[in-house]
Each structure stands twice: as C-alpha cells, then as structure tokens.
Chain A
Amino acid sequence: MGVLIEVDKSKRYMPEEGAFYRRLRARHRRGRWSLLFNYFSVSLAALALLALFFNVANQAFGAIGLVNTIEPQKLTNGRPLDALNNNELALILAEHVSGRLRVLIRDTISQVAVDDFTSASVAEIVGDAKVDPALAGELLKNISPEQQAGLLAKYADRGTLRNLVLDEVVEQQVIASFPLVDAIFNFDSVKAEIEGPILQDFRRRERLDDAEVTIIRFHSWLHNEFLTTPMSSIPALAGVRSALIGSIGLMAVAVVVALPIGVGAAIYLEEYAHHGFINRLIETNVRNLAGVPSIIYGMLGLAIFVRALAPFTSGMIFHYNFDVPTVGSVIERIAPAFEGATITIRSDAAVVDVATVERVVDTFMFYGSPSLTMHGNSDLREMSRSLAEALRIAVDSVPVRADEDYDIELRGDYYRFDVAPISNVAAISDDTFNALMANLVRINSFSPNGRTLLSAGLTLVLLILPIIIINAQEAIRAVPQPIREASYGLGATRWQTIWHQVLPAALPGIMTGTILSVSRAVGETAPLIVVGAATFLVTDPTSPFSQFTALPIQIYQWTARPQGQFANIAAAAIIVLLALMLTLNAAAIILRNRYSIRF
C-alpha cells in the first residue's frame, strides 16, 4: 500500500493514531451508553405492560367463598336433600318462596304459552283435565300457595324440584373473593379468612347466625354468561351485555358519520383547496383539535346534541315512541319486571324475594326515578327502603302509611296491576290506578331527553373527526403525483381522478387511521359521562334513540364501588374492552397489509 496522495504535513487536520484510537473508544462508549438507555426504556415499557396484564388477570380470576343462605340440613331436619320426596320438596318451596311459586310453575311444568299463562286455568297449565276438580277451573293466582306447591309436587320430577330448592331457597351467595395470586400462593390463609372474620361479618349482616361456608373454589369472573347477561347489582350475576352492545353501537355511529365527513374534508383540503393562507389556517386548527382533551368534546356534545338538537337526537322528530309517554307505554315497559311476582316490602326491611326486589329496583333506576338512588352497595335493607320510598312517592294519591305492607301484583295481563295494602285486599279503583300511573310518568321522565346513543355517537364523531381528517390527508398526500398526472393526462376530470385513482390508493391508509381513531373512541369515558351515559342499565339499546351505557362507563362505575367483587367484574370487563380494541387494531393491520398498493 503506497501513499495515495502526497500531503503537506502542515495541512493535516485529522487526528493522528493515538488521538484517533482514544476518540474512537470514546465514540463507541457513548454508543454503548445510549444503547443501554434504549434497553432500559424498552424494558420499562414491557414491564408496564406486564404489570397491567398481571393486575387485570389477578383481579379477573381468583378464589371465591360461597355460602348457603339457608343450609339444606336446616330445611330437612338433618336429612340429606336427595332423600326427600316430591311433597316434602314442594312444601319447602311453599314455605320459603310462596310468592314465586307461580313463576316456578310457569318455568317448569306449564303447558301453555308464556303470554297466555296468567289467563289460563290450572287444568290448562298442567295439561291434565283430571286434576283436582276443585282447582281445575281456577286461575293459578286464585289458589293458595300450598295448592300451588301441590301442583309442583305432582307434575314436576324430583330432580327439578331438588334444583328449585337449591336455586330458590338454599340460594348460594358469594361472600368473599380473593385475587389470583392469593388463591394460588396463599390458599390456606384465604381459607382461614373466609371461614373466620368474613363469615362472622356475613352472619351478623344478613342475620343468618348459622350460615356456613359451603365451598371455596377457583372462579373466573370472565365467563360466557358475563358477555350475555345485563347489569345487575349483585356482582356475581352482573354482565356486560348492555355495555358491549352500547360500545359497538357507538362505534357504528362514529364510523358511519365520521368516515364520509372526514374523508370529504381531507379530499377538499388536499385536492381542491388552494394551498394558501386559509387552507393553512384550517389545517393548523384541525391539527390542534386532534389534541383537545376529550372532556371538552363532551361539553360540546352536551350543548349541541343533547340540548340544542334534542328533538333530533331523542328521535322526537321521527316520532320515536320514547317521546310519547302514555300510561300504556309506561306500564308496558315496567310490567315485565313485576311479571308473575308478588313482592312484599316492609319498611322494616324484611324482604321475601330478593331477586324480584332487585329487578324492580333495576327497572325503577332505569327509568330514572329521582327518589331511587343506589348508595353504592347492594345492601338489601337500603334497596328495599329506597324502593318503598319510591313507591310511596309514586302512590302519593293512595293513602299509605309507612308501616303497612304492600302487595304489588300483576293481574291478568301486562296492563293492569294493583297496589293495595295487604290488610285491604280489594283492588284499588281504576281512578287510583290511573293517578298512580300519571305520577309515575311525571316522576320518571321517560325519554332519555337527548341523552341517547346517537348523541354520544355524534360526540365521539367530533372527537375522532380531526384524527380521521389528518390521517386521510396524509394517505391522500402519499398517493404519488404521477398517478394523478397520468389520470388527468387521459382526460379525466378532477372527481374521476379522485374517485378512480386517489381514493383507492389512499383507502388502506384512510381505513387504518379510521380504525385506530375508533379504537381510541371506544376507550373514551369522559365525554360519555358528560353527555349522560347511564351508569346502571339493564336493557340493551335497541335503536340510536335508546339510553345507553358503554364498556368504559361500566368499568368506571364498577371500580368506584367499595365491594371487592365489583373490582373483579371490572377487571373482567377490562379484558373484554382490551379484546375489543385488539380486534380493531388487528383489523387495521390486516386491512393495511391486504389492500395497500405498492407503487
């Protein structure tokens, strides 16, 4: 290797060997430090993600302790449940859940259609003409609980009766839940705690002095029924169906409205508008809007969609039936909650039929009775007191004293039911009934008044529109100019060029941006709270004009509750939400990879 260029020594600026190697080592050292920092950053991110997954999984799965409300041995004087015969089992039902016997008959042995059930005779219901002639022609509601139990004993098989006793009387409850880590590594102390202080507490609270822990077992709070059942105030029975449908509905509204508007705006800004001052001003503002906190969009949505455009977003101008709260429509909506049930509520809070009270409370809450508020727990005393209070307000035209019992009963069909003191069994007059209903209508503002799925969806449209516009603009800008020129050069109009060349080429980018922004919208909570998402909803949204709730709202509401089990179902709901978002993101990636055009 000879010298390539003869260089004047006095003109050398580059470092000589010693200095060069010294500096080289320093250069490599700096590189190693930055590499170390990069490793650290990546590990931190991975750790955060792991912690999230761990935390959610720890809550969503774990151990639960179950308690029988009434011990089977107590029902049977110590004989095993399996040893009882039909009559004995039916008598237990008559003794403990007399008010639900008709529902049980309807759900097990009835031979008539559900709609005809309340007007069918006993003989028709059991499908046996040779039934006791004293009962055959009677309506089921007019015979005594013992006679109803007799029918069950005669026409249901023993296994069915045994299961009814287990479900309706023994009635297992979850008294404690422990997270996954405790359940795996600390099972003994979990067991000790459930069988010790937690059980004591439960006995005292529920006045069940001899309640025992039946079983402590592993439980996944995320299960099939979790997706298919609506909200309940008992965590173990609660599900996310309404919230899931609500979230999907919101997504649908958001995409259907935001996509055409966003793409239209992007096309205008990129392809039509002159790139002058006004265009720059608009683009800058759109970019700023993308960074506006979501709650501000919530305020905007509240002002515009919920308030100003209420006739539109509540469906009034489409004559949607929510806005004609006739007595008939009120009863039609409330009646299913009362169906087949006789509920007795004493103001001293001895509640006969817990499930029915819950359903009634849920229904009342759905229709927004101001006097009915859940005080953050499912304490039955609280609930029944609230319910009694609500009923008292509703029936203020009926002479009612606080210490009296009431019997609310569905009569004949959905359109009539009675509210009357038990001491005065005679049905109240039609006038009183109508006054009661008028009161209910007045108390329960029936329309969601613009606080609908549509309003919330449109609010999310405002939220994601800037993101969609920016993404669409970038996708359109990325379409190579020669493609446009080729199209124009063949005599295409501007719109033909956009429609046939620019949009197809930009579509994967537009779709990706849209899906990503929608998956952001699905996780939004704040604007939905502001525009009035329901926090407790047992009915699914059936139209854009329905009241709604959404997954993040449900999660937010559950995590705000003090009982541990709500934290468990909140974690399960988080898994559902994450799964929904991952699905959306996967869809975005698949779309991009499958349809992207390489030039």
Chain B
Amino acid sequence: MAAVLRPAETPADSSLVLELRACSFYYGAFRAVADVSLPIYQNKTTAFIGPSGCGKSTVLRGINRMLDLVDGARVEGEIIYRGKNLYDHEVDPVEVRRRIGMVFQKPNPFPKSIYDNVAYGPRLLGIKKKGILDEIVERSLRGASLWDEVSGHLNKSGLALSGGQQQRLCIARAIAVEPDVILMDEPCSALDPIATQRIEELMWELQREYTIVIVTHNMQQAQRAADFTAFYNIRKSLENGQEIRWGELVEYDDTSKVFGNPARQETADYIAGRFG
C-alpha cells in the first residue's frame, strides 16, 4: 500500500490538509503500526475504526506529535501538513500541537476554574488582556455549546461539571487556540448516550470550521459523524518462533462506501461485528 489511498471521488469543495505518506510508528524496536498512507480533507470528519490494539490511537497521536512525549517512540515516513512535513527537524512540536488540537478519551479538565481552563491556551500564547480573554472564553464555550450551562459560574472548578460537560469544556479549551485540525481520541467512550449525542451534534457544528479526525469504537458514531472512514486491523506473523503483532490500514474511503460496500472482506466482517 505504498501509494496514498484516495477515495474514488475526491470532494471538489475540499482541499487536502494532512497527508500521511507511508508512515510507520515505532515504540523502541517494536513497530506498532506499519505503512499508513491516507489523506485528510479540510472541513471533513475522518473516522479511524478498528479492533483494540490496531494502532489507530497511535496514528492519531503521531499526527500532532504527542507521540514525542513517549520515551522511545518514533515515526518513519512523512506526515505532510499543508505542504510541510511535520517531522522535519526544523518543525517545533509545540507549534504543531497548537495548530492540531486534541480531545482525549477521558475528559481531563485542569484543576482550575472553567474560565481558566479555556483561557489557558490563549494565555500560553501570550494573550493577557482581560477583555480579549473574556471574548475568547465566551466564544469558545459557545462554540462547544456549553455557554448556556456555565455562563453564570465561570469561576467554578472545571472538575465540578458532569462528565459530558467536562468533555465539552475540553473541546472549548481546544478550540480556544483556534486550531486548524482537531484530533479526537474516542471522545465519547467515557460518556453516557445522552452526553454522547450532544458531542456528536457538536461535531457537526465544529465541522464547518475545523477539520476533525476521530478515533471511535462505535460503528454508528463513525457512520453518523464521519465523511471518510479508515479501517485498521491487526496483522500477526511468527518470527523466530515468537508471535509479533502490528496494525495496518486496511481500507480508507467514503464512509458510505466503507459501511455500505467495503472493498475488503475483513472490513465487512468487522463492521458486521464478527470480530473486534
């Protein structure tokens, strides 16, 4: 799979934001994911699906260089972001993460007030004026459709909110630094169905302004929320009598195509719930 997989019809209204070119992800000597190539289009939602351990979260974290924080982790290949390889040595990972934001599996607000949670990113970038920060906080909380619920008590601790509210606070925090891409790592897996629904609705809203990549275990969620879907699977082989496992990108296409008429049998099996 050396060539970049492109969907059969490239959407005319979208331009390419990110492109993974033959990327392999390593933890030390262990190759966790091999040879991933795929495009990510602007203002579209791309879902990564696959069984546990297939490396979809690793790929996601590789995109905004969060993998750098893990001792011994490295990436081979190129991740081109708007014409630039993110793993070029002159690229500062701090800038990458500011442009490509992230929302995590478990809501992780800072142990600070709601206001300070949202203002944290802008403050890191040197914005100190109260008026500007106020505006950013309100806009971000509105953008994460949390404003109506918390506008009266912005000084309350972010940890005092419910799980779903905390996750929306994390989204507000992520969009406060005006990122280009938002990576979501199973954002709803710790939430109840109603909170999940609200996040999904929110993702529709966000898609108008941001490019979203989401890792999910929930087939329906991928179907509902994503324009494109990438299916990863686990490969095994015996080497010197020991079993080694790694993840591979199996199929990437329009969501409707992947779910309606998958090109590969294993994709169909996974979607049908026959394994994983």
Contacts and interface: CB of A to CB of B under 8 A. Distances in A.
Contacts of A501: 110
B73 to A, nearest CB: 12
B159 interface: yes
18 contacts: A482-B108, A483-B108, A484-B69, A486-B173, A488-B66, A489-B101, A489-B104, A490-B98, A490-B101, A490-B121, A490-B174, A491-B94, A491-B95, A491-B99, A491-B121, A491-B177, A492-B124, A505-B111
Given A490-B121, A491-B121, A599 B177 contact: no
Given A485-B69, A599-B159, A491 B110 contact: no
A256 interface: no
B108 A490 contact: no
Nearest to B65: A488
Contacts of A490: 97-98, 101, 120-121, 124, 173-174, 176-177
> When A and B form their complex, which 10 residue pairs have the shortest distance between CB atoms, in order from nearest?
A491-B98, A482-B108, A489-B102, A490-B121, A597-B111, A491-B97, A486-B108, A492-B124, A493-B94, A491-B94
A500 B173 CA distance: 15
Contact of A486 (B94, B95, B170, B177): B170
Given A487-B110, A491-B98, A492-B121, 15 more contacts: A480-B108, A483-B108, A484-B69, A485-B69, A485-B108, A487-B120, A488-B97, A489-B64, A489-B102, A490-B124, A491-B125, A492-B94, A493-B94, A500-B120, A505-B111
A278 to B, nearest CB: 13
B71 interface: yes
Contacts of B174: 489-490
A240 B139 CA distance: 63
A274 interface: yes
A275 interface: yes
The residue among B98, B120, B159 with the most chain A CB atoms within 10 A of its own CB is: B120
B25 to A, nearest CB: 17
B106 interface: yes
A485 B121 CA distance: 13
Interface in A479-524: 480, 482-493, 496, 500-501, 504-505
Interface string B159-194: 100000000001001101100000000000000000
Contacts of B173: 486, 490
Contact of A275 (B71, B124, B176): B71
B159 A598 contact: yes
A322 B187 CA distance: 68
Interface string A90-130: 00000000000000000000000000000000000000000
A487 B108 CA distance: 10
Contacts of B110: 483, 486-487, 501
Given A483-B110, A597-B111, A491 B159 contact: no
The residue among B71, B97, B101, B173 with the most chain A CB atoms within 10 A of its own CB is: B97
Contacts of A489: 64, 66, 97, 101-102, 104, 174
A480 B120 CA distance: 18
Interface residues of A, number: 23
Nearest to A493: B94
A598 B120 CA distance: 19
A353 to B, nearest CB: 68
Contacts of A493: 94, 124
The residue among A274, A488, A490 with the most chain B CB atoms within 10 A of its own CB is: A490
A275 B71 CA distance: 8
The residue among B69, B106, B159 with the most chain A CB atoms within 10 A of its own CB is: B69
A458 B69 CA distance: 36
Interface residues of B, number: 27
Interface of A: 274-275, 480, 482-493, 496, 500-501, 504-505, 597-599
The residue among A484, A485, A486, A504 with the most chain B CB atoms within 10 A of its own CB is: A486
Nearest to B108: A482
Contacts of A598: 111, 159
B28 to A, nearest CB: 12
A274 B124 contact: no
A483 B166 CA distance: 13
A597 B158 CA distance: 12
Contacts of A500: 120, 124
Given A490-B173, A500-B120, A485 B97 contact: no
A403 B167 CA distance: 95
A490 B118 CA distance: 10
A307 B212 CA distance: 66
A482 B97 contact: no
Nearest to B92: A493
A491 B104 CA distance: 15
Interface string B104-118: 101011110000000
Contact of A496 (B104, B124, B176): B124
A485 B159 contact: no
A488 B97 CA distance: 7
Nearest to A596: B111
Interface string B78-111: 0000000000000000110111011010101111
A525 B2 CA distance: 72
A482 B98 contact: no
Nearest to B170: A486
A492 B110 CA distance: 13
A190 B66 CA distance: 79
Contacts of B121: 490-492
A500 B120 CA distance: 9
B65 to A, nearest CB: 9
Nearest to A497: B124
A1 B108 CA distance: 49
A489 B67 CA distance: 11
Given A489-B66, A597-B111, A482 B104 contact: yes
A488 B174 CA distance: 11
A583 to B, nearest CB: 29
A200 B80 CA distance: 102
Contacts of A496: 124
A508 to B, nearest CB: 12
Interface string B43-71: 00000000000000000000010100101
Contact of B69 (A274, A480, A488, A491): A488
Contacts of B94: 491-493
Contacts of A483: 108, 110-111
Contacts of B125: 491
Nearest to B95: A491
A492 B239 CA distance: 41
The residue among B69, B106, B108 with the most chain A CB atoms within 10 A of its own CB is: B108
A484 B69 CA distance: 10
Contacts of A488: 66, 69, 97
B195 to A, nearest CB: 18
A504 B98 CA distance: 23
The residue among A480, A487, A488, A598 with the most chain B CB atoms within 10 A of its own CB is: A488
Contact of A274 (B64, B71, B98, B106): B71
Interface string B195-238: 00000000000000000000000000000000000000000000
Contacts of A597: 111
Interface string B15-55: 00000000000000000000000000000000000000000
A228 B1 CA distance: 85
Contacts of A275: 71
A599 B69 contact: no
A153 to B, nearest CB: 76
A500 to B, nearest CB: 7
A496 B123 CA distance: 10
